[in-house]
Amino acid sequence: MAEGQDKPIADMSFEEALRALEGVVRSLESGDVPLDDSISLYERGEELRKACQARLDAAQAKIEKIVSGADGRPQGTEPFDAQG
């Protein structure tokens, strides 16, 4: 099975989730996985994709919240409030 198949996604770092997603893709592309396992792998892959995307979105939001000083240089960050 693919790397990271049994570890809860919430317990994975971004890098672990990405490696696990790549493992799922490799397994599915190989064509050697039975249909029922392919469906489970696809579902796991979709959850991994969502987790990776959420982490990327959070990182992007933090970057966008960098506060610039009067000279245009970054002076710090503001907390990102996902609620708006």
- pLDDT the model gives residue 17: 96
- The answer to whether residue 26 scores a pLDDT higher than 60 is yes
| Stated pTM of the model | 0.69
Average the pLDDT over 29-50 and give the result: 94
- pLDDT the model gives residue 80: 59
Rounded Cα–Cα distance for residues 37 and 73 (Å): 51
Average the pLDDT over 41-63 and give the result: 92
Domains annotated on the chain, with CATH: 9-77 (1.10.287)
Rounded Cα–Cα distance for residues 9 and 7 (Å): 6
- pLDDT the model gives residue 2: 46
